[in-house]
Amino acid sequence: MDTLASWLPEGFRYPFILRGLLAVLVLGPLLGGMSHLVVARRLAFFSSALGHAALTGLIIGIALGEPLSAPYAGIFGFCLLTALAMVYVKRRTSLPPDTLIGVFMSLTLGMGICLLVAATSRFNIHQLEAVMFGSLLTITDTDLLLLLLVGLGVGGVLAFRYNEILSDSLDPRLARAAGANPALVEYLFVLLLSLAITVSLKVIGALLVEALVVVPAAAARNLARSTRGYLALSIAVALASGLGGIVISTVWRVPTGGAVVLTLGASFFVTLLLGRLLRRDA
């Protein structure tokens, strides 16, 4: 890491900023690569629900004895249970998906608020800010290693099952005709998405994680003319916005998560304008 730091501008040579930079280089392809699938499956609201569930999982993990700096079991466990429950109920009800997800979001948020009041005797509520909004200062070498391992694992499964997941996202009948089980594909994707969101909390934060799994695809959609281009542009937007957010947070001392989201928002409107100009010229 010292060798890498020597090649960077002076402001980026601090270890905590360098760790954040490396984390973004992993998160960009991870969440950016899943972004277009999240949008195709209409799971934008679903991602927001998991972000809220992460706060409840954090409090449960701490209550069970996990350290505040790494309550991954509590966060992932509760997020996964919530995600699987949402998919299970969704496949057995005629309610619109956004209505169902709203029910689960309200339930998990209410549970988190009640548990938070009971748990504040054990820690300062301001210690949750890093999880809610993301912070470079809290990223450790262990977090980086976990992020890399999860990123490689999720990326490998996505690459191996990509055609199956994509066809099911566009039309479950296509996946069924190809011999896939739509129910298993949906559960698999939810598992991968829960893993990706859990490991991204230290960088982007629970309340802002939805932006990094939705906006890259929305921005890429403005320019993409093929499925391959859609995927590549989603990853490029996520990477560029993550790096831009780090620059902004370093220069102006603002929370990294908020800076990344602002950069993502700007990228959407820039690509929207570029897309209109290109269509006009064509």
Please report, for the chain, the start and end positions of each structural domain, with discontinuous segments joined by +. 2-273
Burial zone of 52 (CB within 10 Å; 0-12 exposed, 13-18 middle, 19+ buried):
buried
- Residue 218 pLDDT grade (very low, low, confident, very high; cuts 50, 70, 90): very high
Phi, psi angle pair for 139, to nearest 5°: -80, 125
Residue range 124-141: mean pLDDT, rounded: 66
Scan for tokens 């099952």, then name that residue. Answer: 161
Residue 26 Cα to chain centre, angstroms: 12
Copy the structure tokens of residue 243.
């790096």
Does residue 153 register a pLDDT over 60? Answer: yes
pLDDT digits (tens, 9 = 90+) for 197-217: 888 876 777 767 888 889 999
* The pLDDT value given to residue 203: 72
pLDDT digits (tens, 9 = 90+) for 37-55: 988 888 888 877 887 888 8
Domain 2-273 indexed as CATH 3.40.1190.20: no
* The pLDDT value given to residue 263: 92
**Within a 10 A sphere around the Cβ of 180, how many other Cβ atoms?**
18
Does residue 172 register a pLDDT over 80? Answer: yes
